[in-house]
Amino acid sequence: MSATSQAGLYQGPVFEMARRQFNQVADHLNIAFDERERIFMPKRAIAVSCPIHRDDGSVAVFNGYRVQHHLTLGPTKGGTRFAPSVDVGEVGALAIWMSWKCALVGLPYGGGKGGITVDPYTLSLRELEALSRRYMQEMIPFVGPHIDVMAPDMGTDERVMAWFMDTYSMYSGSTVTEIVTGKPVACGGTLGRREATGRGVAFLIGRAMEIVGIESAQATAIIQGFGNVGSIAALELAQRGVRIVGVSDHSAAYYDPCGLDVEALVAFTRENRFLKGALAEALIDSDELLVQPCDILVPAAMERAITADNAGRIKCRILAEGANGPTTPEADQIIAKRGDEIFVLPDILCNAGGVIVSYFEWVQDLQRFFWDEPEVLDKLYGTLERALQRVMARAVRDGISNRDAALALGVETVRNAKAIRGLFP
């Protein structure tokens, strides 16, 4: 790719990971170098300062970002992350991955992602609401139901989405539920959105177990991250008879080969927010947890959890990427070379349930016509099954990994749409 004035804007290891994955797939698809930059580089990046009053009376200013990757197939769509790591490079990479994901599963969106550089757990509820509302207020000129539609991601939830929607609506003078997805059902959300990503992860793991030949009742799983995605995936897998032998969040990691009581752990985090203090007897080092034996390993927290340091030591048969970007390209190479044929459910397929049901929410909000939960789930699982089939068929046809097949399908869709629409003016 040639260098542009924008190239220096997006920096950091996560953006480099997205670039490297793209270039590998672009080589495979024989995309000319002068075409790559148009497909890869984000369309827009917005940076805002968000001042709020702290509870102690002082004023604090937080940096917020939103990256809109491409507008070729429709509005941009993607989560909002509140985390200390957030910068324009990280959300840029996440926006790009959202584009490939939406294209892979056939949604009429480009990718978007945004966030605030903040540890949300250090804010009081009032401060969190003030920051959420100020961020949306700063973003109003740049978003809209047909421009860019936000959703939850790490550190944000239904409550934050309700504040976003309320803030946008107050400025619009009427209720605009379709401005964000992942809202509470009580204010325009859809049934099934809160659980959609974790349920989608569990559904695809179920399909991978059938393909690899593992019985649920004999299977074990380890899950890193116990927030929206990780806890729901753990509950769903446990309901399918899988023994959950390990879980972790940023506060603690637990491992018990006899199995953990996931419902009790979820109840504990509902009361205490984090896993710390739940199970002293099963404590394990969080890095060690990832290399314990299991059939299914689900990284559902941060990017870059499986790296060159631990990829040679993970002991699973299915790697199900609930998180975005949990496996580095170096780790991918090590896993491929191991020769024990770990079945990888790549992130843009594995966690696509969230954006699929976000799309259903947006459609329902636009039509003011709501579906029942079985309809949502039926359409969710149907969409994931079709995407899984396409990925596996492409991997076999081209002799490439599931990840490269998923990325190739996503990149190719965006590339074709750009080619057909032409270059304006």
Q: List, by residue number, the catalytic residues.
A: 113
Q: Which is nearer to ligand NAD, 351 or 364 (by Cβ)? A: 351
Comparing CA positions, the residue from 117, 200, 199 lying closest to residue 154 is 117
Using CB under 6 A as the binding rule, the residues of this chain from 337 to 366 that contact ligand NAD are 351, 354
**What letter would DSSP give residue 8?**
T
Return the structure tokens found at 287: 């890095």
Peptide bond preceding 108 in cis form (omega within 30 of 0): no
Asked if 221 and 296 count as a contact pair (C-beta separation under 8 A), the reply is: yes
Check binding of 324 to ligand NAD (CB under 6 A): yes
Q: Which residue, among 203, 275, 268, has the nearest Cα to 233 in the 3D structure?
A: 203
Compose the 285-314 pattern: x for residues touching ligand NAD by CB under 6 A, - for all others. Answer: -x-------------xxx------------
The three-state secondary structure class of 333 is: helix
Position closest to ligand NAD via CB? 227
The distance of closest approach from Cβ of residue 339 to ligand NAD in the complex, given in angstroms and rounded to an integer, is: 29
- Distance, CA of 251 to CA of 274 (rounded, Å): 6
Looking at beta carbons only, is 64 or 230 nearer to ligand NAD? 230
Binding mask 250-289 for ligand NAD (x = CB under 6 A): x-----------------------------------x---
> Is residue 99 at the binding interface for ligand NAD, with CB under 6 A as the rule?
no
User: CA-CA distance, 211 to 150, in Å (whole number)?
Assistant: 35
Give the span between the Cα atoms of 99 and 111, in whole angstroms: 4
Does residue number 224 form part of the binding site for ligand NAD (CB under 6 A)? Answer: yes
Question: Residue 402 interacts with ligand NAD (CB under 6 A)?
Answer: no
- Residue 114 or 322 having the CB closest to ligand NAD: 322
Residues 6+ apart with CB under 8 A from 102: 73, 77, 108, 109, 110, 111, 355, 410
Least distance between ligand NAD and beta carbon 117 (Å): 15
Closest CA to 237 of 255, 254, 222: 222
Burial of 27 (0-12, 13-18, 19+ CB in 10 A): exposed
Binds ligand NAD by CB under 6 A, chosen from 323, 376, 388, 411: 323
Provide DSSP, 142-200.
G-BTTTEEEEE-TT--HHHHHHHHHHHHHHHTS--GGGBSS--GGGTPPTTHHHHHHHH
DSSP, collapsed to helix, strand or coil, labels residue 327 as strand
The piece of 210-218, 247-255, 384-392, 407-415 that touches ligand NAD (CB under 6 A) is 247-255
Q: Is 322 one of the binding residues for ligand NAD (CB under 6 A)?
A: yes
| x-or-dash string of contact with ligand NAD, 190-219, rule CB under 6 A | -------x----------------------
Q: Does position 383 bind ligand NAD by CB under 6 A?
A: no
Among the listed ranges 40-48, 66-74, 225-233, 414-422, the one in contact with ligand NAD (CB under 6 A) is: 225-233
Of 214 and 360, nearer to ligand NAD (C-beta) is: 360
- Write down the least CB distance from residue 421 to ligand NAD, Å: 28
* Spatial distance between the Cα atoms of 24 and 26, rounded to a whole number of angstroms: 5
Task: Report if residue 181 touches ligand NAD, rule: CB under 6 A.
Answer: no
Handedness of CA 50, 17, 230, 210 (dihedral sign): positive
How far is Cα 102 from Cα 99, in angstroms, rounded to an integer? 5
Return the residue of 152, 192, 346, 410 that touches ligand NAD, per CB under 6 A: 152
Enter the tokens of residue 254: 């637990």
> Which is nearer to ligand NAD, 229 or 335 (by Cβ)?
229
3-state secondary structure of 86: coil
Number of residues that bind ligand NAD (CB under 6 A): 24
What are the residues binding ligand NAD (CB under 6 A)?
Answer: 152-155, 197, 224-230, 248-250, 286, 300-302, 322-324, 351, 354
